[in-house]
Amino acid sequence: MIISVASGKGGTGKTLVATSLALALQNQELVQLLDCDVEEPDAHILLKPLFSHQQTVSIPIPKVDEAKCTYCGDCAQVCAYNAIAVVGEKVLIFPELCHGCGACTYLCPEDAISEEGKEIGILEFGQAEGIEFIHGQLAIGEIAAPHVIRAVKKHINRERLVIIDVSPGTSCPVVEAVKDSDFCLLVTEPTPFGLNDLTLAVDMLNRIDIPCGVVINRDGVGDSKVEEYCHREDIPILLRIPLDIKIARLYSRGITLVEGMPQWQEAFLKLLAKVRRILSKRKSE
């Protein structure tokens, strides 16, 4: 099973939930945690994995053979990202805009365009107390986060329960990270900002047909509108984490709930059991 942990809003505690769930399950089943928040991965701070190796992530960038090029401009017309411009008898390539789709190479009538790799990030592989851990890091200044996310997800181990830590928001990187998941946990907080971004995340998941449930973090602050929304939309609230100074102090020291407060292990095991029941019911329908 693949469970993605998303949030809509940043700073809701999504990584705390993802890592706590992984640690709660480490002695129950085989677990793999993928940190797909490639622009600022931080799950390793909590899991403290021992990294064994890394891998470069590259995308193909066009390279023009001027001897073959007739400057017809077809490559510039087909490029959806304006990464190629033909000016007179000169072809300009803007690598920072290129998304590596390959359309220019494929459609060049003179076969004048080849491709060369451009490094846009790295993957790092490790182990954390029996948890298989992989995260991606997008290189500074690069924008093609989905490419790095896809590279991380290529290493999904179907023999393990897979937990994917997703970046906040509902943009392309988030969609890339959550798609193909069996279930998505949406971590939110009971505030107007939390509710607003939760509704956006739910809409996104509905559009790609991924079932979801909610984890309310910092329960006890704000108002009841998040809970009312979940009841109205028939979205299950699977776990509540209270606003607790002890939890905040542990988190500030890079310690997860399960590690710092072992009594929370049972709560996360029950969370997984609820997810499985929801999916079982969904299949039977």
- The confidence band for 285, taking pLDDT boundaries of 50, 70 and 90, is confident
Q: Find the angle CA(240)-CA(188)-CA(212) to the nearest 5 degrees.
A: 85
Summarize pLDDT for 111-161 with one digit per residue, the tens: 999 999 999 999 999 999 899 999 999 999 898 999 999 999 999 999 999
Return the closest-CA partner of residue 160 out of 43, 58, 40, 33: 33
- The pLDDT of residue 109: 96
272/193 same-domain check: yes
* Other C-beta atoms lying within 10 Å of the C-beta of residue 252: 8
175/198 same-domain check: yes
Q: Three-state SS for 2? A: strand
| Cα–Cα dist 4/44, whole Å | 17
84/201 same-domain check: no
Contact 5, 18 (CB under 8 A): yes
CA 6, 10, 12, 16 torsion-angle sign:
positive
Strands of the sheet containing 212-219, edge to edge, are 50-64, 113-128, 131-138, 31-35, 161-165, 2-6, 183-188, 212-219, 237-242
What CATH number is associated with residue 16? 3.40.50.300
218/84 same-domain check: no
196/236 same-domain check: yes
| Cα–Cα dist 220/217, whole Å | 9
Return the closest-CA partner of residue 18 out of 277, 276, 268: 268
The residue written with tokens 């449930």 in the block is: 213
The residues, ordered by sequence, that sit 6+ positions from 169 with a Cβ below 8 Å of its Cβ are: 8, 10, 197
What CATH number is associated with residue 106? 3.30.70.20
277/231 same-domain check: yes
Count the alpha carbons within 13 Å of 150 in the hemisphere toward its beta carbon: 10
- The pLDDT of residue 156: 98
* Other C-beta atoms lying within 10 Å of the C-beta of residue 17: 25
CA 273 from centroid of its chain's CA atoms: 23
Query: Domain of 147?
Result: 2-57+120-284
Give the count of domains, the chain: 2
Return the closest-CA partner of residue 218 out of 17, 75, 8: 17
Summarize pLDDT for 168-180 with one digit per residue, the tens: 999 999 999 999 9
Lowest-pLDDT range, 27-31, 135-139, 183-187?
27-31
21/103 same-domain check: no
96/209 same-domain check: no
pLDDT at residue 8 tops 90: no
Task: Give the end of a domain, one of 111, 139, 173.
Answer: 111
- Across the range 202-215, mean pLDDT stands at 97
- The pLDDT of residue 222: 83
- The pLDDT of residue 26: 87
Task: Give the end of a domain, one of 81, 111, 141.
Answer: 111
174/222 same-domain check: yes
- Across the range 256-264, mean pLDDT stands at 94
